Chains A and B, each alone.
Chain A
């Protein structure tokens, strides 16, 4: 990691809530693309999902109007999905053909209020909302989508994150309730729960993001309030592993002290301890936070800070096809593109 990463900020004329890399297809001629959930509060009804070219993100190639602000955005190889703060879900082919977009409207049959948990597992999408409902949305044939209710918490608990582990299992997290592990083979029920380990002597916090590594499906990494990041291994479900306060000694500084908005396993960073990397070891994790930190944390290692911005980093994504490239959405109406590694200079 000796070579310095290059970072570029692109100011935009609108606010960016979430940003993702769009999986590139062989036929794409316009270069690499980003999907961004944007809005402009000075214009009514301006929430939309936009397709931005990487070389000039300020001029969107296409846009899809959404009924309210986007609260979750995910890309599968063929579909882009966005959930909104009013509780609707919108699915769009990744070619961004807005004509063939389908949506599940908000309401009693789906979600009411923000849906922050959204993930794609094969053909199915899981949604988990602050209203306490969990749905699995799948293709119902002839261009329609069908939402099936897995659970209705009736507001007794609210969910902020969701992630598939396998086609039958997924994890959710929310306010104060830690992380739940759902198994669809056992009657769509929660089979394991974890309260988490929260910093600053507090006993509870809000989960904002969960990631599960495709090769280690029994381990969740969780980011949440007060700079908390922890890993939860289902095999030792009673002992979550804190990642945010690790260091060589007890006085080590936490990576950040504010909200950790997103966490993702970082395939680009090699684990510092490859030889003894047994399956219990947590792989490197990237996070972004309200105080403007983009960093990599690893179990029992000092964290590596990639960015320390003056404003919040609300969202980030690692390009699955070029894991050295990271895009992030900054609070101050801009997106940043970070290119790591040796070939950084060559690409400039």
Chain B
């Protein structure tokens, strides 16, 4: 795409934007190409990712000689990175997770993804054998998906990983943990609702646990329970008498409403009546506080187990839970109606504790007041009002009710995702993942979505004509692969995803591999390794040829020949041979051969793959042997030399232009020996060749060589006398 350059050496192309955006000036990037003006041509092409390659060329100058032209730059190629400083990606995660961290997640998810795909393929084969419909009918399948989900979840960060040795502050309300990320929170939501079948009957409690981990992420503008407690924690240092502070009681009711029982019990112990000097006159008050604390810590919970440090009684079965629940509710109401309240003189303590009891009894008004976000209200319903809520429909209904009570204007990826899940709308879930959590999340989360959901399975895998015949799943994988391809550190993992795309993946993979830079031999080898893994031999051969041409052009002839040999590129090796012969033909002093040694070694004994270059090898052998023979070591060397000569002359690959030099070199040898070295037939062959050569001299395409004029005749004479002697000898 040549463009017309401006005369000034700086910016290059005049740009007229669309009329709509006429007001905003187009971004101009000055580039330093170092080519002195005038510049006649500019070529622009996309390299990998955000890299733009700009080539600036000067007009060819016919006056300049070949020698001087090399000194002045005739053109240069500059790489412009358009990505730097222009990043304003739309996904929410980008602010939270930095680039290096995101790449760590990308790398880590490759083995898990590959393992799941290979298991899926194995199960699909087995399913085809047993005439089953789909992979998801296999019992093992969802366990594989669960394993995958856990692996990826661990990769996203482990909120429980506390620094091993940390002295816990007794006045700390919230535990110091690794900062949770919304990426992890979203992943866990998908896992809870779509994958973890075993824990489905404890879904409400899992949601409560999830909220405890990620409450801080729910909203940036409206408050949350976490926010409230965090603010109170800051205030706590300066508080003398906590029970006089409204925030203390608000914090308590908030924490209780979302089921953070350990936090509540810990906070209740801050109450002033526990202090030794006040025990005596506040005995009843202290008794009430303690009674509430005990009730809180023995709250029945419908779940198999509790993590360490969490409070409550676990009930595994429904009848068991109902029995415990009734008993506990009885105790709470008994305390609520107790006569001791009258003896409690501290007004705020009395009201605060009563409020806690009302929350425990499931008073909707108090719960609504205690919680801040609709999701918190939602969780409090599971804890205190409807512990047996099951099924998406019921939950969705409840969520709608909570949203009405506590409308939130802060549209957040997590709440949007939860809404999509509860309304059983995989399209919404997918859209939320795409816009809020980026291509990584979509590409990996789709596996969870379709694990045990036939509708989502069909939606994701149906091939759509409006997408060019690919499925939604493939589309998202391709998008993610493109993101990976655009970075020079992650492009190597893109093939894993591309190879899982049956329709267009392979084509894109070939383009990706062919677009990789070939300047560095190690990078070429890495690319070739991928070609080998994905059985793309043709692509590999092409890459080797491109690399060969690059190295050849840059004067690294040995490396160039190596790549052509690897690619079995006979055509180019022959071409190269012609070029080399030209140079050898001009000057072939014996010491010069030392330089060619490396190249000849490379050509090796495997003559077939070297094209016309095999001649060089024989030529070297001949020269070496000739030298030995002339030094007069043995008659054996002379005989050997002559054999090489005959071989060379017989071989059709020996270029004609070397015939005379070869023969001329041998003249001395032929003349100096008392016995003829060649027999009659051999001499005749050489004479015939000589005749052919004299004929060829008349043709216009004959290349003359730099031998003395009498060369031909001296060779003829030597051969003639040899023939005479040979005839005599044979007779």
**Interface code A244-274, partner B: CB below 8 Å = 1, 0 otherwise?**
0000000000000111000000000000000
Query: In the complex, which residues of chain B have a beta carbon less than 8 angstroms from the beta carbon of A131?
Result: 555-556
Residues A175 and B521 in contact, CB atoms below 8 Å apart: yes
Is B585 an interface residue, CB under 8 A from the partner?
no
CB B489 to nearest CB in A, in angstroms, measures: 6
Residues A177 and B489 in contact, CB atoms below 8 Å apart: no
Interchain CA distance A310-B107 in the complex, whole Å:
9
Contact of B596 among A113, A156, A311, A332 (CB under 8 A): A156
Residues A175 and B525 in contact, CB atoms below 8 Å apart: no
Query: In the complex, which residues of chain A have a beta carbon less than 8 angstroms from the beta carbon of B114?
Result: 310
Quick one: given A41-B489, A155-B557, are A290 and B595 in contact (CB under 8 Å)?
no
Residues A290 and B529 in contact, CB atoms below 8 Å apart: yes
Residues A203 and B609 in contact, CB atoms below 8 Å apart: yes
Interchain CA distance A13-B99 in the complex, whole Å:
8
Contact of A158 among B558, B604, B606 (CB under 8 A): B558
Is B526 an interface residue, CB under 8 A from the partner?
yes
Q: How many residues of B contact A (CB 8 A)?
A: 43
Contact of B556 among A158, A178, A204 (CB under 8 A): A158
Interchain CA distance A149-B107 in the complex, whole Å:
43
Is A298 an interface residue, CB under 8 A from the partner?
no
Which of A175, A193, A206 has the most chain B CB atoms closer than 10 A to its own CB?
Answer: A175
Interchain CA distance A114-B559 in the complex, whole Å:
12
Is B83 an interface residue, CB under 8 A from the partner?
yes
- Quick one: closest B residue to A174, CB to CB? B558
Is A105 an interface residue, CB under 8 A from the partner?
no
Which of B487, B521, B609 has the most chain A CB atoms closer than 10 A to its own CB?
Answer: B521
CB A39 to nearest CB in B, in angstroms, measures: 9
Residues B83 and A176 in contact, CB atoms below 8 Å apart: no
**Interface code A67-95, partner B: CB below 8 Å = 1, 0 otherwise?**
00000000000000000010000000000
Residues A176 and B602 in contact, CB atoms below 8 Å apart: yes
Interchain CA distance A42-B50 in the complex, whole Å:
10
Query: In the complex, which residues of chain B have a beta carbon less than 8 angstroms from the beta carbon of A311?
Result: 107, 492
Contact of B521 among A157, A206, A312 (CB under 8 A): A206
CB A240 to nearest CB in B, in angstroms, measures: 14
Query: In the complex, which residues of chain A have a beta carbon less than 8 angstroms from the beta carbon of B248?
Result: none
Contact of A333 among B104, B556, B597, B598 (CB under 8 A): B104
Residues B604 and A203 in contact, CB atoms below 8 Å apart: yes
**Interface code B289-325, partner A: CB below 8 Å = 1, 0 otherwise?**
0000000000000000000000000000000000000
Interchain CA distance A337-B520 in the complex, whole Å:
28
Within residues 393 to 413 of chain B, which ones have a CB less than 8 A from any CB in chain A? none
- Quick one: closest A residue to B609, CB to CB? A203
Interchain CA distance A85-B566 in the complex, whole Å:
23
Interchain CA distance A97-B81 in the complex, whole Å:
33
Is B624 an interface residue, CB under 8 A from the partner?
no
Within residues 150 to 209 of chain A, which ones have a CB less than 8 A from any CB in chain B? 153-158, 160, 174-178, 190, 193, 195, 203-204, 206
Query: In the complex, which residues of chain B have a beta carbon less than 8 angstroms from the beta carbon of A175?
Result: 521, 558-559, 562, 602
Query: In the complex, which residues of chain B have a beta carbon less than 8 angstroms from the beta carbon of A85?
Result: 520
Contact of A204 among B83, B103, B565 (CB under 8 A): B565
**Interface code B484-515, partner A: CB below 8 Å = 1, 0 otherwise?**
00011100110000000000000000000000
Q: Which applies to chain A's interface (DSSP): helix, strand, loop or mixed?
A: loop
Q: Which applies to chain B's interface (DSSP): helix, strand, loop or mixed?
A: helix
Which of A14, A131, A156, A204 has the most chain B CB atoms closer than 10 A to its own CB?
Answer: A156
Within residues 24 to 81 of chain A, which ones have a CB less than 8 A from any CB in chain B? 41-42, 44
Residues A153 and B107 in contact, CB atoms below 8 Å apart: no
Residues B492 and A157 in contact, CB atoms below 8 Å apart: no
CB A112 to nearest CB in B, in angstroms, measures: 9
Is B599 an interface residue, CB under 8 A from the partner?
yes
Residues B558 and A157 in contact, CB atoms below 8 Å apart: yes
CB A85 to nearest CB in B, in angstroms, measures: 7
**Interface code A294-313, partner B: CB below 8 Å = 1, 0 otherwise?**
00000000000000001110
Residues A155 and B555 in contact, CB atoms below 8 Å apart: yes
Query: In the complex, which residues of chain A have a beta carbon less than 8 angstroms from the beta carbon of B525?
Result: 206, 225, 259, 290
Query: In the complex, which residues of chain B have a beta carbon less than 8 angstroms from the beta carbon of A42?
Result: 83-84, 99, 487
Is A106 an interface residue, CB under 8 A from the partner?
no
Interchain CA distance A195-B595 in the complex, whole Å:
18
Is A319 an interface residue, CB under 8 A from the partner?
no
Contact of A291 among B529, B604, B605 (CB under 8 A): B529
Within residues 93 to 147 of chain B, which ones have a CB less than 8 A from any CB in chain A? 99-100, 103-104, 107, 110-111, 114
CB A52 to nearest CB in B, in angstroms, measures: 15
Query: In the complex, which residues of chain B have a beta carbon less than 8 angstroms from the beta carbon of A323?
Result: none
Residues A204 and B529 in contact, CB atoms below 8 Å apart: no
**Interface code A1-13, partner B: CB below 8 Å = 1, 0 otherwise?**
0000000000111
Is B169 an interface residue, CB under 8 A from the partner?
no
- Quick one: closest A residue to B98, CB to CB? A13
Quick one: given A155-B555, A176-B565, are A204 and B111 in contact (CB under 8 Å)?
no
CB A101 to nearest CB in B, in angstroms, measures: 25
Is B532 an interface residue, CB under 8 A from the partner?
yes
Residues B100 and A333 in contact, CB atoms below 8 Å apart: yes
Residues B558 and A176 in contact, CB atoms below 8 Å apart: yes
Residues A176 and B562 in contact, CB atoms below 8 Å apart: yes
Interchain CA distance A337-B512 in the complex, whole Å:
33
Query: In the complex, which residues of chain A have a beta carbon less than 8 angstroms from the beta carbon of B591?
Result: none
Contact of A156 among B489, B520, B558 (CB under 8 A): B558
Residues A204 and B602 in contact, CB atoms below 8 Å apart: yes
Query: In the complex, which residues of chain A have a beta carbon less than 8 angstroms from the beta carbon of B99?
Result: 42
Residues B103 and A132 in contact, CB atoms below 8 Å apart: no
Query: In the complex, which residues of chain B have a beta carbon less than 8 angstroms from the beta carbon of A204?
Result: 562, 565-566, 602, 604, 606
Is B280 an interface residue, CB under 8 A from the partner?
no
CB A192 to nearest CB in B, in angstroms, measures: 12
Residues A333 and B103 in contact, CB atoms below 8 Å apart: yes
Is A331 an interface residue, CB under 8 A from the partner?
yes
Residues B604 and A132 in contact, CB atoms below 8 Å apart: no
Which of B520, B558, B595, B604 has the most chain A CB atoms closer than 10 A to its own CB?
Answer: B558
Residues B521 and A177 in contact, CB atoms below 8 Å apart: no
Within residues 436 to 463 of chain B, which ones have a CB less than 8 A from any CB in chain A? none
Residues A132 and B598 in contact, CB atoms below 8 Å apart: yes
Query: In the complex, which residues of chain B have a beta carbon less than 8 angstroms from the beta carbon of A178?
Result: 601
Residues A333 and B532 in contact, CB atoms below 8 Å apart: no
CB B495 to nearest CB in A, in angstroms, measures: 12
Contact of A177 among B104, B107, B520, B598 (CB under 8 A): B598
Interchain CA distance A311-B496 in the complex, whole Å:
12
Enumerate chain A interface residues (CB-CB to B < 8 A): 11-15, 41-42, 44, 85, 113-114, 130-132, 153-158, 160, 174-178, 190, 193, 195, 203-204, 206, 225, 257-259, 290-291, 310-312, 331-334
Task: Give 4 new A-B contacts, CB below 8 A, not counting A204-B606, A206-B525.
Answer: A132-B598, A156-B599, A310-B111, A333-B107
Please name 23 pairs of A and B residues whose Cβ atoms are closer than 8 Å in the assembled complex, sorted by A. Answer: A11-B104, A12-B100, A13-B100, A42-B83, A130-B521, A130-B556, A131-B555, A131-B556, A155-B557, A155-B559, A156-B599, A157-B602, A158-B558, A160-B521, A176-B601, A176-B602, A178-B601, A204-B604, A206-B525, A257-B532, A331-B492, A332-B493, A334-B107
In the complex, the 8 A-B pairs of residues with the closest C-beta atoms, listed nearest first: A157-B598, A13-B100, A332-B107, A176-B602, A157-B558, A176-B562, A156-B599, A175-B562
